[in-house]
Amino acid sequence: MISQVSRDELQRQLFEDDPPVLVEALGAAYFADAHLPGAINIPVDQVDRLAPTLLPDPAADIVVYCSGTCSNSEIAAERLVALGYQRVRVYLGGKEEWVEHGLPVERSSE
């Protein structure tokens, strides 16, 4: 089973010297609309193709999230573990919980 990280814990870890790599497991349009600060986009159906390039270190601390009401983060996290990534966690509250608590998001062009 993939371990989980709470919003408070994730928020604290993002300000540490070695923050986790945030991975949004939603499609590009959702990512462009809003994503957690510093996150990279690896849609759930592209994990096998994109992870080796975007996540070159299999020992990196990785936190996967989605909207909060979908299972994309858990599916993507399971794929990452199957691909050999050793420190994968899921932020189940996702983007919805993050925004509900007034925390910042970034926006980008598609």
* Phi/psi at 73 (5° precision): -65, -40
DSSP 62: E
- pLDDT digit string (tens) for 31-55? 999 999 999 999 999 999 999 999 9
pLDDT digits (tens, 9 = 90+) for 1-30: 799 999 999 999 998 999 999 999 999 999
What's the token pair of residue 40? 């990279």
Domains of the chain plus CATH, in order, are 3-100 (3.40.250.10)
Predicted model pTM: 0.95
